[in-house]
Structure 1
């Protein structure tokens, strides 16, 4: 079993991520922490194989936790889970050796994909004493597999939706964008959900007094 520790200060998010983890075979939750300092202490005590690390934590940030893990030589892999989408943070996280970066909010499919890819990579490294170039290339493909479009999505339609969204002057719903593009709302919503999960666009969820929350999509202007 692969031991996983979750570092998250939001009880609701912790519960969701724990329930996601319980659905995936070969992974088990060995502990959790709600602050940066507690995270470092428990990682040393529990020695997890993998840490699901939030960026924004009390006391010290997730990036600082990751820095201290590397400085202290802790043999634990990290998947960063955060709402931060700025390129500087993403670049720093990968420079510090995180194996994946998941942007909140995300669905179970993206969560499972990240852990499945990690398991394959870990198994390949564990079972191979000396690696050939083709073995290293295969591991690299495992890490990059999540960048490929999911089955049923096309690059052409994706670009049409991105272009249409870029032309909007304010956040829009999937229904608004579907009308603008002349496409089926369910199709546009599927692509927008994918773009939101991968951090390529921003999603603003607004809750009303009754009914389901409304999702407004936009591309952050730099």
Structure 2
């Protein structure tokens, strides 16, 4: 599970960042800060994988914080969530290697895309070498319609089910467990999970060792 730190001086936006992040079972928010200096001191002493970072903060801006993190070689990635959309700031932060850049106000779907981008980057560099195919997944634009939901299915819900299946144990998860993780009905979970199976993005198997009725288990393809 990826460890996330949120640095945002607006309490409402900070809560929204946290809520959106923790909807994805791959992530856990371990700290939140309203001050960039306090965040820097904490990150210098504690490991984290991702910082969700605002630009406009008093005393120590997000740009200054990210520059300090890079200068100290603190190994943490950053997703910018900010109202700063002037070209100079965007260019400066992109050159510092941010994973993604979201301009407020933003949607859950766009936030989830940023988390997916972070995961693709991390998964690509887990081994000793990175293949051209893995690099293409990072830098080449997705094919048209690759991630779009069909009529009757919500893209945000589809992304949520995808995330749960990716985080599922090797044996998979039953729809009841997915329902608890997502706060969706079992019927809804099955509809989305079965759609992902039909697309070839997930597997489903039948577990007969339940002591009662067999149940279907779902997991994402590798």
Give the number of the structure whose residues are more often helix, by fraction: 1
Residues 193-204 of structure 1: pairs in structure 2 closer than 5 A: none
- After TM superposition, the runs of 4+ consecutive aligned structure 1 residues lying more than 3 A away are 144-152
The 1:60/1:121 distance shift into structure 2, 3 A limit, reads: same
- Post-superposition offset of 1:88: 0.8
Could you say which residue in structure 1 is the equivalent of 2:92?
92
Specify whether residues 44 and 85 from structure 1 end up closer, same or farther in structure 2 by C-alpha distance, changes over 3 A only. Answer: same
- Gap runs ≥5 in structure 1: 153-222
Per-residue deviation, 1:66: 0.6
- Calculate the aligned-residue CA RMSD, in Å: 2.2
Deviation by residue 1:37-74 (Cα, 9 ceiling, x = unmatched): 11101212332100001001121110010111110000
For residues 29 and 109 of structure 2, the distance between their equivalents in structure 1, rounded to whole angstroms, comes to 19
Aligned equivalents of 1:52 and 1:109: distance in 2?
A: 16
Q: Tell me the residue number matched to 1:130.
A: 129
- Matched with 1:189 is none
Question: What is the number of equivalent residue pairs in this alignment?
Answer: 149
**If the length of structure 2 is used for normalisation, what is the TM-score?**
0.62
Name 2:47's counterpart in structure 1: 47
Whether the aligned pair in 2 keeps the contact of 1:30 and 1:46 (CA below 8 Å) is: no
Query: Match of 2:56?
Result: 56
Query: How high is the TM-score relative to the length of structure 1?
Result: 0.62
Q: Following the alignment from structure 2 to structure 1, what is the Cα–Cα distance between the partners of residues 137 and 147?
A: 20
**After the TM superposition, which residues 13-162 of structure 1 pair with which residues of structure 2 at under 5 Å, given as runs?**
13-126=13-126, 128-141=127-140, 144-145=141-142, 151=148
Q: Give distance in 2, aligned partners of 1:69 and 1:146.
A: 35
